[in-house]
Amino acid sequence: MQWSDRYTYYQNIVEEALDSAIPLAVSPWEEGQIPQRLAEAMRYSLLSKGKRIRPVLLLAALDVAGGDLRCGIPFAVAIEMIHAYSLIHDDLPAMDNDMLRRGQPTNHCKFGEWTAILAGDALLTEAFHIMAQSDSPYALKVIKEMAKRAGAYGMVAGQTADLSFEGKLADENMLSYIHRHKTSDLFIASMNAGFMLAGSDDGLIKAAENYAKMLGLAFQITDDLLDVLGSSEEVGKAVGKDDDKLTWTNLKGVEQAKIDAEKAVQKAVDYAQSFDFSDYAFFAPLAQSLLQRVK
């Protein structure tokens, strides 16, 4: 099977699981159900057309390490919920103030600001509710990993730095800090969760973490490049909005950004050698495909 077919295979598992993760209530205030308006707003962002790269990484890591895919599904759903919450909050007027996400109006444009804030809050909390119901012996280890990478030490730290440095001068160290936390941390959580759920040893988990760090860096640099070179129709969100931001392209220029993306991809490919070891290659070609990203 081609790596891209395998990606689609995992993606389909994720889509089906996401659809049943947030049920729609039969009436607006049914006891024991999510209020209708809230469930609609949660589903709107969670089910809109995303690439699902984080849950795909989780399932692929679990698969390559010989684990049971079924036990990864709640965790795959959870990481996509955490990602969806972060996008909803990032788009709010108090943060990036964006109108378009995944080719459709952002959550607050569609449902209003307070509903969008609550939909984000609820997705984040529900992610942990779902993971806590797993009976995997590794569930607690994975939950700790998710909390560390998504929260105050991880993605939220990256977002804090990103917003703090808007319109200000900073160096490459700060830029790396932002990318490492805002983007790579959820990639790391995904890979680590997959290997942890399969009971892999610490050596493999370290290699997965190094791979995810580089994949995240390449992903973010190509995201910065898309903001400069991409079209809003293709990317599905506003482009050319990062002029004031500390981005790879603003700090180093477009040509150097392309070179740095290639270097990060090469490092990711090198790390993938240690675990891309089954009868198919998945992680190396996935990293290489980032250089052709259009959305």
Binding interface with ligand GRG (CB under 6 A): 50-51, 53, 83, 86-87, 89-90, 102, 155-156, 159, 182-183, 220, 223
Measured between alpha carbons, how far is residue 262 from residues 15, 206, 209, 229, 268 in Å? 30, 22, 19, 17, 10
Q: Which residue is nearest to ligand GRG (CB)?
A: 50
Short-list 123, 114, 136, CA closest to 44: 123
Of 123 and 204, the one with the shorter C-beta distance to ligand GRG is 123
CA distance 155 to 103: 24
Find the shortest distance in angstroms from Cβ 30 to ligand GRG. Answer: 30
CA distance 171 to 246: 9
Find the shortest distance in angstroms from Cβ 252 to ligand GRG. Answer: 17
Find the shortest distance in angstroms from Cβ 119 to ligand GRG. Answer: 13
Find the shortest distance in angstroms from Cβ 158 to ligand GRG. Answer: 7
3-state secondary structure of 136: coil
Find the shortest distance in angstroms from Cβ 25 to ligand GRG. Answer: 26
Of 48 and 266, the one with the shorter C-beta distance to ligand GRG is 48
How many Cβ atoms sit within 10 Å of the Cβ of residue 40? 17
Of 83 and 267, the one with the shorter C-beta distance to ligand GRG is 83
Cβ–Cβ under 8 Å, residues 50 and 74: no
Give phi and psi for 20, each to the nearest 5: -90, -5
Of 50 and 194, the one with the shorter C-beta distance to ligand GRG is 50
Find the shortest distance in angstroms from Cβ 196 to ligand GRG. Answer: 22
3-state secondary structure of 104: strand
3-state secondary structure of 166: coil
Of 49 and 129, the one with the shorter C-beta distance to ligand GRG is 49
Cβ–Cβ under 8 Å, residues 105 and 99: yes
Of 53 and 205, the one with the shorter C-beta distance to ligand GRG is 53
CA distance 97 to 74: 31
